[in-house]
Structure 1
Amino acid sequence: MTEQLNANKQHYPAVWISDVHLGFKDCKAEYLLDFLNSIECDTLYLVGDIVDLWSMKRQFYWHPSHYQVLNCIQQKALDGTRVIYIPGNHDETFRHYVDQTIFGVEVHQQYIHTTKANKRFLLVHGDDFDIATRYNKLISIAGDAGYDFLLFLNRWTNRIRKVFGGNYYSLAAYIKARVHKAREAIAAFEDAAIHEAKKQKVDGIICGHIHHPKIKVEDDIVYCNDGDWIESCTALVEQQNGKIELLHWSDTQKVLESADVTSIVTPTAVKPNKSAA
């Protein structure tokens, strides 16, 4: 029976999620749990802010689904999935455990993933690039008053939509995309990330932090942001041919963007400290 169930799951060489914010009331843990139960992967990357320690210090909140997400991740590790955790700013306490393994989960400050197309991607959470966006309060992390207001609107909009049979919709993302200063801050963050990828001479960079899912190619660098599970409900996946896709997973599931990285010109490589097979 187990083999039959597993046969129905989509298998990926690698999957990236970040900014889950377990312990925060707007975390969409149910959607994430459905996603995790629907896939198998060789390597699962947790790209920071998985647990929101900041939020829980202000007000403790822990829905049963939040525990189920952690249990699902640990079970994947026990079943043979390689799980690599890159702590973010909201769970920075776990940075004290860099280069250690906790309950079968490897903890790293950053990481180099090599795709099936032999392209090298730098993995970081992204808070190191805050200096590029610090001037803008509209793009601040969860906890900022302006962002909390967007999430308040998002929460009540979807409650009303659900009453009338509508599917999940990220009003917060819609508003941010139409605020000029927010767009400027997002662009500045992306530029800083691409600059870091060039500096480390990799083919691309995968990060989270700003809750803005995106795949784009600029100057032969593939910029990928896996989004979040507060607004966007998105994850990045690698196909067997090395293609990177950005998936949305809520009441409906769809591919939002993709990048055929096989056409990217590989820069002169430097020997990484660590790399994934």
Structure 2
Amino acid sequence: MKKRKIELAVISDVHLGTYGCHADELIAYLNSIQPKKLILNGDIIDIWQFSKRYFPSAHLKVLRKVIGMASKGTEVYYITGNHDEMLRKFSDTSMGNFKVTNKLVLNLDGKKAWFFHGDVFDMSIQNAKWLAKLGGYGYDLLILINSFVNWCLLRIGREKYSLSKRIKNSVKGAVKYINDFEKTAADLAIENDYDYVICGHIHQPKKERYENKNGSCIYLNSGDWVENLTALEYSFKRWRIYHYNHDRLSPFFADEDLKEMDMNELIASITDKQIEEDSVIEGHLNGVQQDIQPNPEMERQNEKSLDDQSLSQD
């Protein structure tokens, strides 16, 4: 299968080592893309709940796939989160194309993008880590129960149902926490002159422009691979949210934002690359032409030979 070439892909909150992780779907997604950069924005391995008794081969294949992508030229940045916080002691460590860091700033087509997981805003983690870990176990149990419920629903021909989403959307405290999280991240990005702020942590995929009296920025969240099965993709100077359950292996240019993109802007975004390729080809052709410059003496001999053949036929 031909892979989609994109500038940047962002995934977060995979939670390898837990029952809720959709490792097979993630492998299918990673096999469908060929990004120049891959950002792993925290909670990829759930060290909080890691157990030797449960780490399926599919979860190990995800790690092998990521390492394989790095070995083939993709720049992989592993940004640490709260569930894999033990890796923070290795921050700023580089192994070829694989880098571990706590936060990341990239220049994307002249705009500054700020990447971090987002647990720094979570007071329960900062002040009562034991409570956060207990909540993590409870969440994993809820996902396990939800998996059984969905299996039953599919057996009777009903659609899947997300218990955790229902709880988050109905509990005012959870809704307020998510809104506060997004606003805080956006305000900090504007204050520090970032054009994009990209987070994970809250398992809520989103793309939205935020404005305040000091300016504006675009807030993005890559969601998760437990409930939403989402990622962020950047290409043609555009961000999009990739939904595995809806998009599957659909190409990037099916994105609605790109359909509305002005044709001149689209051409401008790829012109530099095309000019570079054309100049290489032109230089090669010029070299070939110089090697096969016509020989006047050879041409006269060929013309005389053709005249002789014509006379003999007459």
What is the CA-CA distance between 1:188 and the residue it aligns to? 1.0
Is structure 2 residue 35 aligned with structure 1 residue 38? no
Mark the runs of 5 or more structure 2 residues left unpaired by the alignment: 262-314
- Residues 107-133 of structure 1: CA distance to partner in whole angstroms, max 9, x if unpaired? 1121112223x2211000101111399
SS at match of 1:209: coil
Could you tell me how far apart the structure 1 residues matched to 2:256 and 2:173 are? 26
What is the CA-CA distance between 1:17 and the residue it aligns to? 0.3
Could you tell me how far apart the structure 2 residues matched to 1:98 and 1:20 are? 20
TM-score if structure 1 supplies the norm length? 0.80
1:243 aligns with one of 238, 256, 278: 238
Correspondence 1:60-71 to 2 at 5 A: 60-71=53-64
Could you tell me how far apart the structure 2 residues matched to 1:170 and 1:70 are? 27
Could you tell me how far apart the structure 1 residues matched to 2:182 and 2:6 are? 26
Is structure 2 residue 221 aligned with structure 1 residue 225? yes
Please tell me the residue identity of whatever aligns with 1:54: W
- Residues 131-164 of structure 1: CA distance to partner in whole angstroms, max 9, x if unpaired? 39989xxxx6784465345424421232224435
Could you tell me how far apart the structure 2 residues matched to 1:127 and 1:170 are? 23
Q: Is the 8 A contact 1:228 1:235 kept in 2?
A: yes
Could you tell me how far apart the structure 2 residues matched to 1:90 and 1:133 are? 10
1:206 matched residue in structure 2:
198
Could you tell me how far apart the structure 2 residues matched to 1:159 and 1:103 are? 43
What is the CA-CA distance between 1:173 and the residue it aligns to? 2.1
Could you tell me how far apart the structure 1 residues matched to 2:207 and 2:181 are? 13
Which stretch of the first structure deviates more once superposed, 104-113 or 216-225?
104-113
Correspondence 1:162-173 to 2 at 5 A: 162-164=154-156, 170-173=162-165
Larger relative contact order (C-alpha < 8 A, sep ≥ 6)? Answer: 1
Please tell me the residue identity of whatever aligns with 1:235: A
Correspondence 1:1-277 to 2 at 5 A: 5=1, 8-56=2-50, 60-102=53-95, 104-116=97-109, 118-131=110-123, 143-144=135-136, 147-148=139-140, 150-164=142-156, 170-219=162-211, 220-240=216-236, 242-250=237-245, 253=248
Mark the runs of 5 or more structure 1 residues left unpaired by the alignment: 263-277
1:266 matched residue in structure 2:
none
Could you tell me how far apart the structure 1 residues matched to 2:32 and 2:158 are? 23
- Residues 158-184 of structure 1: CA distance to partner in whole angstroms, max 9, x if unpaired? 222443566765442243223222111
* Percent of paired sites with the same residue: 34
Q: Is the 8 A contact 1:161 1:167 kept in 2?
A: yes
Which stretch of the first structure deviates more once superposed, 187-196 or 44-53?
187-196
- Residues 7-45 of structure 1: CA distance to partner in whole angstroms, max 9, x if unpaired? x21111000001101011111111111100111100000
Could you tell me how far apart the structure 2 residues matched to 1:54 and 1:182 are? 22
Q: Is the 8 A contact 2:13 2:226 kept in 1?
A: yes
Could you tell me how far apart the structure 1 residues matched to 2:160 and 2:97 are? 34
Which stretch of the first structure deviates more once superposed, 150-159 or 121-130?
150-159
Q: How well do the aligned residues superpose, as a CA RMSD in angstroms?
A: 3.1
Q: Is the 8 A contact 2:115 2:199 kept in 1?
A: yes
Q: Is the 8 A contact 1:133 1:186 kept in 2?
A: no
Could you tell me how far apart the structure 2 residues matched to 1:248 and 1:142 are? 29
Q: Is the 8 A contact 1:47 1:86 kept in 2?
A: yes
Q: Is the 8 A contact 1:173 1:212 kept in 2?
A: no
Could you tell me how far apart the structure 1 residues matched to 2:224 and 2:218 are? 19
- Residues 213-243 of structure 1: CA distance to partner in whole angstroms, max 9, x if unpaired? 1111111211101011111110000122x11
Could you tell me how far apart the structure 1 residues matched to 2:124 and 2:48 are? 22
TM-score if structure 2 supplies the norm length? 0.71
